[in-house]
Chain A
Amino acid sequence: EVQLVESGGGLVQPGGSLKVSCAASGFTFSGSAIHWVRQTSGKGLEWVGRIRSKANNYATANAASVNGRFTISRDDSKNTAYLQMNSLKTEDTAVYYCATDYYYAMGVWGQGTTVTVSS
């Protein structure tokens, strides 16, 4: 069974940093791209970014709203993708989901991890 499990969410002060993780199982993680998507409370979904596989040079793409602040990485030996968030703002408060990539879409989703940016 394909499964993604996010972790590492929590409370962080504005201007601070946080790194969340996405642990994968049940598929060939090393060959798969991974997306990050967030959802603010009561609002819609926002695509954050994605990282491709080693075969595609670990290429990343990010939404303009997080460019220069958020970085996506992966460790294929641990079947885990990461979202490093720096210079956090209150508007970054959201549930953060990771998802597999499938034919230009998101495929299987994790259950999400909550990040709260507040003083």
Chain B
Amino acid sequence: QTVVTQEPSFSVSPGGTVTLTCGLSSGSVSTSYYPSWYQQTPGQAPRTLIYSTNTRSSGVPDRFSGSILGNKAALTITGAQADDESDYYCVLYMGSGIRVFGGGTKLTVL
């Protein structure tokens, strides 16, 4: 069974830059997995940030960007703000209609 991996936690200073990654337990992530990224704060529904590797969803600030870095998908936040403190999830498309979430990364801004 393929597992989608994310860092359990990460911290960044206000104004700093952080890159969260999304990998596979076996193999490399490519654009063919159509990686997407979601932000969730406690008690709220998720919000879509990035789809198809690097396309920002409507209304998402341009300090959020997606890419492929090495063998992983990546979400980079440039100029982190206090309200970026959230859980971040990636999703990979596995084919045959199947999607798999990563375990999520808890981002702390301090």
Contact = CB atoms under 8 A, between A and B. Distances in A.
Interface residues of A, number: 26
B104 interface: yes
Chain B interface secondary structure, helix, strand, loop or mixed?
strand
Interface string A41-81: 00011110010100000011101100000000000000000
B4 to A, nearest CB: 10
Interface residues of B, number: 26
A105 B34 contact: yes
Contact of A104 (B36, B40, B47, B100): B36
A106 B97 contact: no
B38 A106 contact: yes
A104 B93 contact: yes
Contacts of B57: 102, 107
A61 B34 contact: no
Contact of A44 (B1, B34, B89, B97): B89
A103 B97 contact: no
Interface in A61-119: 61, 63-64, 97, 99, 102-112
Contacts of A37: 46, 101
B41 interface: no
Interface stretch (B11-19, B21-29, B48-56, B78-86): B48-56
B25 to A, nearest CB: 15
Contacts of B52: 103-105
Contacts of A107: 48, 51, 57
8 contacts: A50-B97, A61-B98, A97-B46, A104-B51, A105-B36, A105-B51, A106-B48, A109-B48
Interface of A: 35, 37, 44-47, 50, 52, 59-61, 63-64, 97, 99, 102-112
